[in-house]
Structure 1
Amino acid sequence: MPSGSDPVAQGSDRILARMMLLHPKVIDLTLERMHRLLAALGHPEARLPPVIHIAGTNGKGSTQAMIRAGLEAGGAKVHAYTSPHLARFHERIRLVGALISEPALTALLDECVAANGPDAITFFEITTAAALLAFARVPADFTLLEVGLGGRLDATNVVERPALTIITPVSIDHQQYLGETLPEIAGEKAGIIKRGVPVIVGPQAPEGLEVIEARAARLGAPVLAFGQHWHVAEERGRLVYQDETGLLDLPLPNLPGPHQVQNAGAAIAALRHLGRDEAACAAAVSRAVWPARMQRLRHGPLVEAVPEAEIWLDGGHNPAGGAALAATLARMPARETHLICGMLNTKDVQGYMRPLADHAAHLWAVEIEGEANTLSARATCAAAQGLGIAASEAESVAGALAGIRARNPRARVLICGSLYLAGRVLRENG
């Protein structure tokens, strides 16, 4: 994802653009190139602060954000790596609580390019190596690594012995890379499990859980699974968590949506395993920040275009993400809801839209500017209409907002369908 035209980041932007040319494929899952480059860099992956490695289809970023909030509330220094970014590449690399600086990022990228030489390597691999190099050089108490795609062959899966692994809910997505069935995909996600290292497992379909538990058993990795070793639920407007050490009565997550209760449960299980107290768990659910996950937009030109509307932004893009959005909308006060939707042509478009059909008064289909794999507005519109959703094409998000204002200036607006669209919206909205 491009990092925009921020003049502060022009040095790193030029290097990142060159990196895009180092391998013809955007995604080519193998660890051979990663191991080669890390060896040339002196094996930074072996010198990281204790690693918490997170895989899954949905909820990885939110879970990581909650764990970070909980650890930092107790005074811990935490590195964090996530992808993709939304507005600027720097969002991917967080050093002891702060986004990496432009000079530090530029120097690291230059060093990685020089170490790699003329050899082929993907953009994600070489930028992950840069992140690991940064983390190895700056003292901290923990390193949070979010898997990019899958797990077994993901570029982050180079740490031989993390302190903890986490697998959030697994569902069908990225079939062209991970397999057609849920057990196949779960097997790829379970590839982050390491011998003897505890693994926290969020809510799973039975066939996915079976695969995860089987790999953990082969490796002697203790399993801490939702519904068996820990439980979490919303009760009377509170989050109630329980495990063998006791019960916690906490506020509901500040990240909107009922699905965040499950993500919070995994984060709390991690914090409890790491010996953190109730205050840390409370901070995890009350202080986490994670943009474009049912984020309310309150300022900026897009909001000013329809000042009486209620505008939300979400980057979910698969059927499970659509279901989570629908559950969130179902719990909100009744209000005519319009969707502004842009998606990639690699996604299950109708699978994503189907849960939203009962909540949408109208869908405005847009293309994601600058993305080669964007689904056309016409195809997005046709997919919605095929589900019985009234839909129109729009030239842009701003154009869709103008159409909504003409119909109902006090509507609820949900901009959704892709993290790439969400990132562009955040850049355009300032």
Structure 2
Amino acid sequence: MSEAAQEIDKLMGLHPKGFDLSLDRITRLLEVLGNPQNRLPRVIHVAGTNGKGSVTAFCRALLEAGGYGVHVHTSPHLVNWHERYRIGLKGGRGKFVDDSVFAEALRRVAEANAGQKITVFEILTAVTFLLFSEHPADAAIIEVGLGGRFDATNVISDPAVSVIMPISLDHQPYLGDRVELIAAEKAGIMKAGHAVVIGHQEYDAVLDVLMSTAERLHCPTAVFGQDYMAHEEYGRLVYQDEFGLADLPLPRLPGRHQYANAAAAIRAVKAAGFVVTEAMMEKAMNSVEWPGRLQRLTEGRLIAHAPAGAEIWIDGGHNPGAGEVIAEAMANFEEKQPRPLYLITGMINTKDPVGYFRAFVGLAEKVFCVPIRGSEAMIDPVILSNSAYDAGLVAEPKATVGEALDAIKEILDPQAPAPRILIGGSLYLVGDVLADNETPPK
């Protein structure tokens, strides 16, 4: 176990798990630390139900393509806590925080907190601001943890741009049971007079809330489909905004939903005050990476369990909106190269499994439901199988991902093409798979 992981284990024993949405505790702690959140480079602050991570990855790729040093904060991590903190390097690719630096920052924040009531996520967020304020960079991309208005990252008072990605139902106990209520929470990251970029929104009610908030706060606003847009044409990505048009390669990240995510990133980086050249955009489309999101596994220990020639994908999407875009991507793959699709799925009990599974009806041959290692909140595989059945799918529980892969081998028609296998339903399951496969994010 790393030195930083040991420090976090100590904190887990002292402070409650989960979220307690409030800014009082983090504000108090940051004041003791000298308000490092006010000493950051230009901040791109990102909220949304789906697409936060992808737009963050595109923003980072764009800026690094221009030679900028870019700090990146994301959550949760997949395998190691260090993934949450990418430290920018001028003229090069940022790297995950060094373990000793991370551990020391954790100790300093814990000491400043002096044992007062706080959540571990708030401590980790304070570490973000401390690390990013003490390492020089040109930009800091900071992803919201949960919601927006009361998320611990929302102590940022002077963002270069606030980005709101697609909003749908998720985390209802915390954020509300209607999309417009969730939109109001996520709109809380907008700051008066500061630029806002709104990504593709499926619901008119969401867009109404976001637009009315931006207007009330007098925020210069760019909306996908109105002020900027992107579409595929002759196997290329055409991006357009008020500054002009760019003819680009299709993004390296698979799925048509990534066209809108790439567009939002281009517009956001421009809104943050950076000059974005076509060369930067082209390089970013070819270099962007986002582990655990429609990531294809081509090597590793788990591959040995899979049927010969199988195409294996992992994706941490876990709500109905994510299910729809992942299913669309699988359908596109099927159109280009037909293969039987099998799902290996694990989920936690704050999600809507029936809504997620419904997107795969008519597409997936069978679902194998598995536990999530070490998670008290996981849905029992038998219960998850019942949810898949309720959605209209054939499902069966298995004890491990390896057993599920073995089961797929057993039921395959030897005359059929090698299968396409999607492992997902939870970032925690995807993290377990990457750890077991010995291919963690780098």
**TM-score bracket for the superposition, by shorter chain length:** over 0.9
Q: Deviations over 1:128-173 (max 9, x none)?
A: 1011100000111000000000011111111111111111111111
Alignment of 1:386-397 (within 5 A): 386-397=390-401
- 1:372 counterpart residue number: 376
Query: Given residue 108 of structure 1, which amino acid in structure 2 is its aligned partner?
Result: A
- 2:424 counterpart residue number: 416
Structure 2: give runs of 5+ residues left out of the alignment. 89-93
Alignment of 1:117-266 (within 5 A): 117-204=114-201, 205-266=203-264
SS in 2 for 1:331: helix
CA contact (8 A) 1:22 1:122 kept: no
Match of 1:55 among 47, 50, 55: 47
SS in 2 for 1:196: coil
CA contact (8 A) 2:341 2:364 kept: yes
Residue 22 (structure 1) shift: 3.6
Between the aligned partners of 2:135 and 2:300, the Cα distance in structure 1 is: 36
Is 277-286 or 137-146 further displaced after alignment? 277-286
- 1:85 counterpart residue number: 77
Query: Given residue 195 of structure 1, which amino acid in structure 2 is its aligned partner?
Result: A
Between the aligned partners of 1:388 and 1:106, the Cα distance in structure 2 is: 48
- 1:105 counterpart residue number: 102
Match of 2:361 among 352, 357, 360: 357
Q: Does 1:272 align with 2:270?
A: yes
Between the aligned partners of 2:270 and 2:191, the Cα distance in structure 1 is: 20
Between the aligned partners of 1:358 and 1:264, the Cα distance in structure 2 is: 29
SS in 2 for 1:357: coil
Between the aligned partners of 1:280 and 1:30, the Cα distance in structure 2 is: 38
Alignment of 1:343-354 (within 5 A): 343-354=347-358
Between the aligned partners of 2:257 and 2:63, the Cα distance in structure 1 is: 22
SS in 1 for 2:362: helix
Between the aligned partners of 2:253 and 2:110, the Cα distance in structure 1 is: 38
SS in 2 for 1:249: strand
Residue 20 (structure 1) shift: 1.7
SS in 2 for 1:214: helix
Between the aligned partners of 1:174 and 1:261, the Cα distance in structure 2 is: 26
Between the aligned partners of 1:30 and 1:265, the Cα distance in structure 2 is: 32
Between the aligned partners of 1:118 and 1:245, the Cα distance in structure 2 is: 51
CA contact (8 A) 2:344 2:370 kept: yes
- 1:3 counterpart residue number: none
Q: Deviations over 1:358-413 (max 9, x none)?
A: 21101001111101100000011111112221111101000001101112282111
Residue 25 (structure 1) shift: 4.6
- 1:341 counterpart residue number: 345
Query: Given residue 44 of structure 2, which amino acid in structure 1 is its aligned partner?
Result: I
Residue 127 (structure 1) shift: 0.5
Between the aligned partners of 1:283 and 1:61, the Cα distance in structure 2 is: 19
CA contact (8 A) 1:361 1:390 kept: yes
CA contact (8 A) 1:200 1:270 kept: yes
CA contact (8 A) 2:43 2:140 kept: yes
State the superposition RMSD in angstroms. Answer: 1.1
Query: Given residue 426 of structure 2, which amino acid in structure 1 is its aligned partner?
Result: S
Q: Deviations over 1:107-141 (max 9, x none)?
A: 00000110001101111100110111000001110
TM-score normalised over the length of structure 2: 0.94
Q: Does 1:12 align with 2:4?
A: yes
Query: Given residue 242 of structure 2, which amino acid in structure 1 is its aligned partner?
Result: E
Q: Deviations over 1:229-252 (max 9, x none)?
A: 111111221111111111111111
Task: Give the count of matched residue pairs.
Answer: 422
- 1:406 counterpart residue number: 410
Residue 272 (structure 1) shift: 3.1
Query: Given residue 179 of structure 1, which amino acid in structure 2 is its aligned partner?
Result: G
- 2:91 counterpart residue number: none
- 2:294 counterpart residue number: 294
- 1:4 counterpart residue number: none
Structure 1: give runs of 5+ residues left out of the alignment. 1-6
SS in 1 for 2:78: coil
- 1:320 counterpart residue number: 321
SS in 2 for 1:20: helix
- 2:437 counterpart residue number: 429
Between the aligned partners of 1:270 and 1:347, the Cα distance in structure 2 is: 30
- 2:331 counterpart residue number: 330
Match of 1:69 among 46, 61, 74: 61
Query: Given residue 402 of structure 1, which amino acid in structure 2 is its aligned partner?
Result: D
CA contact (8 A) 1:267 1:284 kept: no
CA contact (8 A) 1:152 1:189 kept: yes
Is 414-423 or 283-292 further displaced after alignment? 283-292
Query: Given residue 323 of structure 1, which amino acid in structure 2 is its aligned partner?
Result: E
CA contact (8 A) 2:323 2:357 kept: yes
